[in-house]
Amino acid sequence: MNRQTGWFGGLFILAVICWQWFKPSDDLQDTQQHYQPDFIAKNLVSVQYNKLGLPYRGLEAEYAEHYQPLAMTLMEKPVILLYSPSGQPQWRLSGDEGMLNIGDNLVLNGTVVGKGLQANSLVKTLTTEYLELDFINNQLRSNRAVQLTSPNYQAQGRGLLGKIDQQTVELLHDTQAKYITP
């Protein structure tokens, strides 16, 4: 074997060793899956109806990406409308960002504002940075600072539990309220 063949063989072995040394492991590649959205929507509008043909939930978003393998939709500027059993709008909830887990829950982040749309609503405005809507249990939840306002009172606290079907909300911790008499 001549000197040139030896050098070439040595460089080849060194290249194989470096390739094996710096190659990412298969386990790491498997855990770093990059999902592509199954569809992208701009100015999304969706309304769901009950068996009687009355609306019970509406959803709007300026931008949405749906990921079917994850059963999840990411949204920018989402707005959700919740309707009464008679098909009348009860709540309008909006946020800067949102994540909808299909059939399970919706999470709103950023500047979250809820508006009571019925004339007899006890809460006219709800503001927080985080709000979760649990569609299975018909609940609103938050673990952040929450402010509730109406013509008769202002209340603030940390944490919220609301029951959508009963039209009730409860501030959980550090609650302060100011009642306004006409």
The reply to whether 138 falls in a domain is yes
The reply to whether 57 falls in a domain is yes
* Residue with token string 């994850």: 70
The reply to whether 79 falls in a domain is yes
Sorted by sequence, the CB contacts under 8 Å of residue 60 that are 6+ apart come out as: 43, 44, 45, 46, 78, 79, 80, 81
> What per-residue confidence (pLDDT) applies to 28?
46
The burial of 22, by beta-carbon neighbours within 10 Å (0-12 exposed, 13-18 middle, 19 or more buried), is given as exposed
> What per-residue confidence (pLDDT) applies to 6?
67
What CATH number should be reported for the domain holding residue 143?
A: 2.60.450.10
Which amino acid type is present at position 174? D
Domains identified in the chain, total number:
1
The reply to whether 19 falls in a domain is no
Give the integer Cα–Cα distance in Å for 153 and 62.
33
Which residue range forms the structural domain that includes residue 169?
36-179
> What per-residue confidence (pLDDT) applies to 33?
62
> What per-residue confidence (pLDDT) applies to 168?
82
The reply to whether 74 falls in a domain is yes
The reply to whether 157 falls in a domain is yes
Run of H or E including 121: none
> What per-residue confidence (pLDDT) applies to 10?
65
The reply to whether 11 falls in a domain is no
* pTM tops 0.95: no
Q: What is the SS3 assignment for 23-87?
A: CCCHHHHHHCCCCCCCEEEEEEEEEEECCCCCEEEEEEEEEEEEEHHHCEEEEECCEEEEECCCC
Please answer whether residues 62 and 42 qualify as being in contact, where contact means their C-beta atoms are separated by less than 8 angstroms: yes
> What per-residue confidence (pLDDT) applies to 31?
46
Q: How far is CA 16 from CA 1, 27, 28, 124, 128, in A?
A: 21, 20, 20, 69, 57
Taking 70 as the pLDDT cut, the residues of the chain under it are: 1-11, 14, 16, 18-33, 182
The reply to whether 95 falls in a domain is yes
